A and B are shown apart, each in its own frame.
Chain A
């Protein structure tokens, strides 16, 4: 192998540079986001693990059911009835009244920017919490 030393040294330097972000930030993983659960309402439309992983599918079904089939009431597994509405049910004063303490925490952490709020009006919050809303 011609210039073996240089090539191997190059590969090693390359590997070090490539893996730099991994070992440099090792052990400095940011804290997992903590969402603030509603104080009044203790039970969501479905159980927690389902909502954690599948809330987007549920919202999608709610949206199509409401807009396209005119069925607007959701009956949960334990028989409670909900108006299928992001703005008026999920984000109501009794439930997730603050977007910055619920939605934004995980979405910012995972770098997800859903476009719900381009149209849907997020609940009003105190101005000091506005800064957290900014990405």
Chain B
């Protein structure tokens, strides 16, 4: 049905009012967005509706490490097999990541990759043999523009507003694996079977949950450790081992938005690259080769 004269005038009138309201709210120093953010207490409107308007009363952030954009720098020249193994083990142990040998069912948060897979498109036949042997530690890049978040139909994976960490909400994941198809780095693993039998009971970390069959998982930049004021487990282990061996720290973690942070210092003093920059996902993990 077409718009008749009466309807047109109504729409025109309401639109004029809406435009006219902007200077009025500005004059009263009232910002609808800020007001809404405060009312929602960090939730999105849909999350608020799910809780019938209740917000987590009395919840506060606690003694957390905070940043506006967490980032990691991997100095590959300081890495060796031993340090890489130790980092992977520390990560997988505290996060109850199962050891499944079958590569089709394998779950990995942090793993080792060869040069040609870590930085594809950069290799050529005359590259230094030593570089080819270096263990490139790879993980979720916590992209600034994450394609996995864009495709997730349930918002189970999301970029945290406060610090840019790409997180997983396992309660919401329906196991559709769109995110795995979207991620150009293969950072995500799907639980094809119950992971519990593949975690030795004595190696379980009772403070962290396991996952269940049918959800996707990945590195979370140790969000649970940041909340307690600790740096990520892999960074802690790598820095300790590098200090023992008298090398530059292989992994550095910090706030990319803070010009005085360790990561910014590392990026200033070395030439660094990111994985697959041509895709425009803007990874927050940098590599110094």
Chain A residues engaging chain B, CB cutoff 8 angstroms = 57, 60-65, 67-77, 81, 83-84, 87-88, 115, 118-121, 123-124
- Closest beta carbon of chain A to B206's beta carbon, Å: 5
Say whether B178 faces chain A, with CB atoms less than 8 Å apart: no
**Most chain A beta-carbon contacts within 10 A, residue among B58, B61, B169:** B58
Asked, given contacts A61-B54, A75-B58, A87-B209, whether A67 binds B42 with beta carbons under 8 Å apart, the answer is no
Say whether B170 faces chain A, with CB atoms less than 8 Å apart: yes
Chain A-chain B contacts (Cβ-Cβ < 8 Å), number: 91
The answer to whether B207 and A63 touch across the interface, beta carbons within 8 angstroms, is no
The answer to whether A88 and B64 touch across the interface, beta carbons within 8 angstroms, is no
CB proximity to A under 8 Å, residues B215-239 = 223, 227
The answer to whether A68 and B59 touch across the interface, beta carbons within 8 angstroms, is no
The dominant DSSP class at the B interface is loop
A64 to B40, CA, bound (A): 12
The answer to whether B209 and A70 touch across the interface, beta carbons within 8 angstroms, is no
User: Residues of B contacting A124 with CB < 8 Å?
Assistant: 206
- Closest beta carbon of chain A to B175's beta carbon, Å: 13
Say whether B204 faces chain A, with CB atoms less than 8 Å apart: yes
User: Residues of B contacting A121 with CB < 8 Å?
Assistant: 96, 204, 206, 208-210
Asked, given contacts A60-B51, A119-B212, whether A73 binds B206 with beta carbons under 8 Å apart, the answer is no
Q: A72-B64, A84-B59 are in contact. List 10 more A-B contacts (CB 8 A).
A: A60-B51, A64-B50, A68-B158, A68-B160, A71-B42, A73-B60, A83-B62, A87-B206, A87-B207, A119-B170
